[in-house]
Amino acid sequence: MTETPALMVEAVGVRKHFAGVEVLKGVDLKVGRGEVACLIGPSGSGKSTFLRCINHLEKHDAGELLVDGQLVGYELRNGKLYERNDKQICAERARIGMVFQRFNLFQHLTVLENITIGQVRVLRVREDAARARARELLERVGLAGRDGYYPAQLSGGQQQRVAIARALAMDPKLMLFDEPTSALDPELVGEVLDVMRDLARSGMTMIVVTHEMGFAREVANTVYFLDAGVIEEWGDPREVLTHPTSPRLQNFLSKVL
């Protein structure tokens, strides 16, 4: 039995290109267990791509990416990197929750079924146990009693909270949020951020791509400013967001704040 690594996510020089365009030009990042990291930066800076590399929705081209001490998508044996097969990658991914900008709830399933399907089909949990867990999570995100609704019958904020519950049902060790409030009406942003704040307080390790600077300042342990595929500046949010040193971050903050 190896000791549990202190870092939940460790990225060293992660690179990624799409059709000749380099989107990530060597990203370094360290997120400890139970910590919250916020990724900020202009659109097209590679924030979402980096997030998607962490759960292998995108394959990174170079660099080292470790989640919970394990290489993402590869296995190191006898000095060679072996690509993991689909089944292994899916098993890894099941323990990394992801929340999308556009919610992506399963439209043909009820709220309850959205939360049970992963437990039943992937984790092989019994149907009734899965349902009980789903109800528990719905209560936690403030949506008790909405079991039978279809996603189309809910507001954006409610859908996003169901999406968070769906991710939590997989019992994740890490949660990734890809601009979770960007598609919401302003008055609905608060209810989603409240749920995320509670989640952070409960000790969940989280990486959040966001434009909500107030949330970053309040909840994050570390803020990373990503620009043009590199981390321009990082550190304690109160420090980074109030006294930015790089001119790019100063320029960015002057636009969003």
User: CB atoms < 10 A from the CB of 227, how many?
Assistant: 20
User: CB atoms < 10 A from the CB of 237, how many?
Assistant: 22
| 108 binds other proteins, rule: CB under 8 A | yes
| 230 binds other proteins, rule: CB under 8 A | no
Candidates 7-15, 23-31, 88-96, 236-244; binding stretch for other proteins (CB under 8 A): 88-96
| 55 binds other proteins, rule: CB under 8 A | yes
Candidates 9-17, 35-43, 116-124, 226-234; binding stretch for other proteins (CB under 8 A): 116-124
**Three-class secondary structure of residue 143 per DSSP:** coil
Q: How do strand 7-18 and strand 21-32 relate by DSSP bridges?
A: antiparallel
CB nearer other proteins, residue 86 or residue 187: 86
Asked whether the beta carbons of 178 and 100 are under 8 A apart, the reply is: yes
CB nearer other proteins, residue 98 or residue 220: 98
| 104 binds other proteins, rule: CB under 8 A | yes
Candidates 86-94, 124-132, 183-191, 220-228; binding stretch for other proteins (CB under 8 A): 86-94
Closest of 220, 190, 171, 176 to residue 36, by C-alpha: 220
| 124 binds other proteins, rule: CB under 8 A | no
**Rounded CA gap, 88 and 213, in Å?**
36
Q: Give me the sheet containing 230-235, strands edge to edge.
A: 96-99, 174-178, 206-209, 36-40, 222-227, 230-235
List contacts with other proteins (CB under 8 A): 55, 57, 86-87, 90-91, 93-98, 100, 102, 104-110, 117-118, 121-122, 150-153, 163, 166-167, 170
